């Protein structure tokens, strides 16, 4: 049996549409449960972190440079620096770490 690409696309479209449609149709009133509200509040942050973390570790061929940039970004974010400061400083650390021979 030869797979039909249009069947795959149709199934994927239906599943994606249902994932977006069901919450709109099933949840009509405001969510009052504190646990569910806090869970839903953190979903975008977790999703972004899960998408970015593998890219951080594989962005360079040098694992040590990637780890140094990641630690720098964590430290700056923990001290509540701005996003642009965190991005620029961690990129600079990765760049400088890659310049050091033997690492």
pLDDT digits (tens, 9 = 90+) for 7-34: 999 999 999 999 888 888 888 888 889 9
Which residue has tokens 């797979």? Answer: 3
pLDDT band for position 6 (cuts 50, 70, 90): very high
Domain range spanning residue 80? 5-99
* pLDDT top residue among 86 and 30: 86
Q: Are 103 and 65 in contact (CB under 8 A)?
A: yes
- pTM of the entire structure? 0.62
pLDDT value for 84: 96
Number of domains in the chain: 1
Chain position carrying tokens 């990637």:
66
**Cβ atoms of residues 69 and 97 within 8 Å:** yes
Look at the block and give the residue holding tokens 């570790």. 57
| Coil, helix or strand at residue 60 | coil
Helix axes 63-78, 83-99, angle to 10 degrees: 150
């Amino acid at each position: 049996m030869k797979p039909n690409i249009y069947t795959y696309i149709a199934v994927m479209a239906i599943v994606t549409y249902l994932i977006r449609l069901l919450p709109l149709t099933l949840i009509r009133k405001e969510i009052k449960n504190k646990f569910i509200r806090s869970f839903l509040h953190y979903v975008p942050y977790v999703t972004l972190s899960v998408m970015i973390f593998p890219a951080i570790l594989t962005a360079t061929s040098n694992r040590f440079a990637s780890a140094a940039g990641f630690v720098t970004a964590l430290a700056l974010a923990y001290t509540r620096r701005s996003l642009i400061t965190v991005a620029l400083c961690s990129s600079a650390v990765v760049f400088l770490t890659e310049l050091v021979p033997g690492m």
